[in-house]
Amino acid sequence: MLLVVEQFLNGLQFGLLLFLLAAGLTLVFGIMDLVNLAHGSLYMMGAYFAATFAAWTGSFLLGALLALGATLVLGIVLEMTALRHLYGRDHLDHVLATFGLILFFNEAVRLIWGPAGLALPLPAWLTVPVPILPGIHYPAYRLAIIVVALLVALLLYLGVMRTRIGMLIRAGASNREMIGALGINIKLLYTLVFGLGAALAGLAGLMQAPILTVQIGMGENILILAFVIIVIGGIGSIRGAFLAAIFVGMIDTLGRAFLPNLLRQVLSGAAASTAAPALSSMLIYLLMAIVLVVRPEGLFPASRR
Amino acid sequence: MKTFTVAKAVTALMLAGLVLLPLYSQLSGNIFILTLFTRVVILALAAASLNLIMGFGGMMSFGHAAYLGIGGYAVGMLAQEGVGSGFIQFPVALAASATYALVIGALSLRTRGVYFIMITLAFAQMAYYVASGLARYGGDDGLTVYKRSDFSGLINLSNRTQFYYLCLACLFGVVFLIWRIANSRFGLVLQGLRSNEQRMQAIGFPSKRYQLVCFVISGMMCGLAGALLANNTDFVSPAVMYWTRSGDLMVMVILGGMGTLFGPVIGAVVYLLLEEFLSQLTEYWALIMGPLLLLIVLFGRGGIMGLLGRLQRG
């Protein structure tokens, strides 16, 4: 029982983290029609910034805040120098150009921070286990991630659906020429959206940093998961990204936790321990394959343009 | 045939260079260059196979490196289990690649555009994780191939020159096959589908079937490259399937000129030699390579082949 609740919360926490990453990706794709492979690099940069700033300031929260700002600025600079020129080009061009950016970022990180990973230690008040149900404790930090991510998701929803900027963003997604003709500064809007996406990726990176080590290439594996999520959820749909992210987070976490035991009841011990890791890492891709067979456009496709 | 063009001259020069390379290596005693170019030729083969679906079929696969791994693992696993004959290993490598391509293609072709790019990427990543989980065959650390494929006296793969010429022959064979495919009725249908799928469907072509067959052929060609690569490095690991490797292959195709016959070969030669050159220059070669890619995308339309064509027109 304890294990089930714990793994369930782990799945939720991982799913929400994936949502932060997928939201930025799907936002940038939905509005600018830009495929950004370098999104994972922004995630990595967020983690590296947080580790560095936290070490400088001696405070985890201050470091996290500074890192958030730094990824926002980095995203804006990236958009203004490079990615802006890719709008309206073929998707293949996006893939190649941002692939080049990944090479650049990985190498730049190796140059600046060295090949060894960094650690981002947590302050003492975040490491204590918190009782959530009678007799069941859960680490405060993971709980904090869940709360922060849910809060961000809510803010994002309200921001996009209820504010003037959000209205402009939605209008830009459905018809970019028209909103430009109505006198809206599209360039600025795009830069802003990209910066927002970068900050979301940075937030995901810096929150994940204390759980895993901060290392080169950390953004690449999770980027693929974010892709799977937006394919499942439907490209350009934030609601779809949210639901798919939690779904994928759950399945991945629960699969890794319980599949080995389940297999052991069916197969012999040796065969199960061989098959389990491969099968559990395949689970979400199988899920994606099933979704594709049933609904090629994803579960919650954004409304047609 | 059309008259002389710069692009043709450069292609002919490069092909002649590739054929004569072992001679140069022998005369100068530079063995390293032969090893380097064996790798170049094998990856050129992989890039050419990717070009078949990207350039002619209009299918932007971002998971092509998976076949390199599948072909390689077919050789490695069979060798591990004591089956050393190339007459078994290579057909198995091709069959395994074809099976994988059939399943992945059938699923991925339900989508198009960016979805297709992401899905092929995700499936290749799945293959990567599966290979990492193969504890019996080295898992993450990879699998050493202690003995190269044995073709019982027909050809000795451990002989550098013979192996190089085998790879080169495979490359030429594949390029010839792609040329025949591109000019066949089948290839023309594919190119029609690339230009306008709806119209082709309206005429009555079963578009998905054509694309799937093309996808499988391309996968088998790349599986062959994988089997050769495992023999070349005497080693196969999940890293050959890692998605940056798929990106490399894509870059080679674009750099050389997508949809041209010899473009990917030129692209592979230029890309790998550039990588070699930059990595000798500085340890941080990717710092230069990354922005260079960005610039190629921004300013170099049509790749090297396109550039040569523009050069001609002045």
Instruction: Specify whether the CB–CB gap between A12 and A245 falls below 8 A.
Output: no
Instruction: Give the pLDDT of chain A (305 residues) as one tens digit per residue.
Output: 778 888 899 999 999 999 999 998 988 888 888 889 899 999 999 999 999 999 999 899 999 999 999 999 999 999 999 898 888 888 888 888 898 899 899 999 999 998 888 888 888 888 888 887 777 788 889 899 999 999 999 999 898 888 998 888 888 877 878 888 888 888 888 999 999 999 999 999 999 999 888 988 888 888 888 988 988 888 778 888 999 999 999 998 998 888 888 888 877 767 777 777 777 778 888 888 888 878 888 888 765 43
In one-letter notation, the amino acid at residue A257 is A
Residues present in chain B in total: 314
Report the residue from A101, A110, A288 with minimal CB separation from B284. A110
Chain B residues with beta carbon closer than 8 angstroms to that of A29: 114
B311 vs A: CB within 8 A: no
User: Could you write out the three-class secondary structure of A148-166?
Assistant: HHHHHHHHHHHHHHHCHHH
Phi/psi for B61 (5° steps) reads -80, 125
Dist CA A252 CA B139 (whole Å) = 20
CA nearest neighbour of B116 among B71, B67, B64, B69: B64
Neighbours of A226 (CB within 10 A): 29
Instruction: Specify whether the CB–CB gap between A101 and A82 falls below 8 A.
Output: yes
Instruction: Specify whether the CB–CB gap between B164 and B41 falls below 8 A.
Output: yes
Task: Supply B51's token pair.
Answer: 């070009």
Confidence of residue B186 (pLDDT cuts 50, 70, 90): very high
What value does the mean pLDDT take over residues B118-131? 88
What value does the mean pLDDT take over residues B107-120? 86
A155 vs B: CB within 8 A: no
Please calculate the CA angle A117-A122-A125 and round it to the nearest 5 degrees: 175
The structural domains of chain A, with segments of one domain joined by +, span: 2-294
What value does the mean pLDDT take over residues B272-291? 86
Instruction: Specify whether the CB–CB gap between B74 and B219 falls below 8 A.
Output: no
Residues present in chain A in total: 305
Instruction: Specify whether the CB–CB gap between B256 and B47 falls below 8 A.
Output: yes
What value does the mean pLDDT take over residues B99-104? 95
Task: Supply A59's token pair.
Answer: 């405070």
What is the three-class DSSP state of A132?
strand
Which chain B residue is nearest to residue A98, measuring alpha carbons?
A: B294
Phi/psi for A298 (5° steps) reads 95, 165
Rounded to 10 degrees, what is the CA torsion of B117, B121, B122, B123?
A: 110
Confidence of residue B2 (pLDDT cuts 50, 70, 90): low
In one-letter notation, the amino acid at residue A269 is G
Q: Would the CB atoms of B125 and A224 count as touching at under 8 Å? A: yes
The strand pairing partners of A129, in sequence order, are A139
What value does the mean pLDDT take over residues B60-88? 92
Helix (H) or strand (E) holding A287: helix A269-294
Average model confidence (pLDDT) across chain B: 90
What is the three-class DSSP state of B186?
helix
Which chain B residue is nearest to residue A103, measuring alpha carbons?
A: B290
Task: Pick the most confident of A252-266, A278-292, B161-175, B277-291.
Answer: B161-175
Percentage with pLDDT > 90 across chain A? 36
B121 vs A: CB within 8 A: yes
Task: Supply A89's token pair.
Answer: 């080009």
Which chain A residue is nearest to residue B137, measuring alpha carbons?
A: A274
Task: Supply B126's token pair.
Answer: 């799945």
What value does the mean pLDDT take over residues B159-166? 92
Q: Would the CB atoms of A288 and B254 count as touching at under 8 Å? A: no
Chain A residues with beta carbon closer than 8 angstroms to that of B133: 274, 277-278, 281
User: DSSP states of A167-233 as a string?
Assistant: HHHHHHHH-HHHHHHTT--HHHHHHHHHHHHHHHHHHHHHHHTTTS-B-TTHHHHHHHHHHHHHHHH
The strand pairing partners of A139, in sequence order, are A129
> pLDDT higher for B36 or A173?
B36
Helix axis angle for B160-183 and B31-51, nearest 10°, is: 20
- What was the pLDDT predicted at A287? 86
Task: Supply A166's token pair.
Answer: 């959000």
The second-level CATH assignment, the architecture, of A2-294 is Orthogonal Bundle (1.10)
Confidence of residue B238 (pLDDT cuts 50, 70, 90): very high
Helix (H) or strand (E) holding A131: strand A129-133
> Which residue in the block uniquely carries the two structure tokens 């910066």?
A195
Instruction: Specify whether the CB–CB gap between B219 and B101 falls below 8 A.
Output: yes
Which chain B residue is nearest to residue A284, measuring alpha carbons?
A: B126
Q: Would the CB atoms of B113 and A91 count as touching at under 8 Å? A: yes
Interface A–B counts its CB contacts (< 8 A) at 125
- HSE toward the beta carbon, residue B27, CA cutoff 13 A: 5
Statement: residue B191 has pLDDT above 80: yes
Instruction: Specify whether the CB–CB gap between A258 and A8 falls below 8 A.
Output: no
- What was the pLDDT predicted at B66? 95
What value does the mean pLDDT take over residues B253-263? 90
- What was the pLDDT predicted at B314? 61
- Cite the beta strand spans of B169-266 per DSSP E: 235-236
Dist CA A110 CA A117 (whole Å) = 10
Dist CA B245 CA B239 (whole Å) = 8
Q: Would the CB atoms of B114 and A110 count as touching at under 8 Å? A: no
Instruction: Specify whether the CB–CB gap between B120 and B61 falls below 8 A.
Output: yes
> Which residue in the block uniquely carries the two structure tokens 């940056």?
B244
Instruction: Specify whether the CB–CB gap between B289 and A96 falls below 8 A.
Output: no
Report the residue from A96, A110, A220 with minimal CB separation from B297. A96
What value does the mean pLDDT take over residues B169-182? 96
Phi/psi for B236 (5° steps) reads -140, 135
Confidence of residue B36 (pLDDT cuts 50, 70, 90): very high
Each residue's pLDDT tens digit, A206-228: 999 998 889 888 888 888 889 88
Task: Supply B71's token pair.
Answer: 């072909």
- What was the pLDDT predicted at A304? 45
